[in-house]
Amino acid sequence: MKTSSGLKAYGAEIISYSKEMKNTLSIKLIKESFNVENVYKNFKIDRVQKKYFVINSFEQLDDSLNEVEIKI
């Protein structure tokens, strides 16, 4: 998540898996603005991610739930 002091890691997978947390610190890592469509196209649950999606606020994430409901 974007904060006034920089990016902060947020998410159950990132926080619970040490390889994933270390991966978030990689300079080579791709970081894109959060977009529900892109998450569905690019997220792979069975491997360390090559790309992360950055939200601006928890409100943005909450606002996206209607779009997520439509997808599932």
Helical spans, DSSP H, in 1-72: 12-16, 18-23, 36-42, 58-63, 65-71
- Domains of the chain, by residue range, sit at 2-71
Quick check: 54 and 32 in contact, CB under 8 A?
Answer: yes
Per-residue pLDDT reduced to its tens digit, 53-70? 889 999 998 999 888 888
Predicted TM-score (pTM) of the model is 0.68
Q: Give yes or no for a contact between 51 and 29, defined as CB atoms under 8 angstroms apart.
A: yes
Q: What is the pLDDT of residues 32-54, one digit of tens each?
A: 898 888 887 777 777 777 788 88
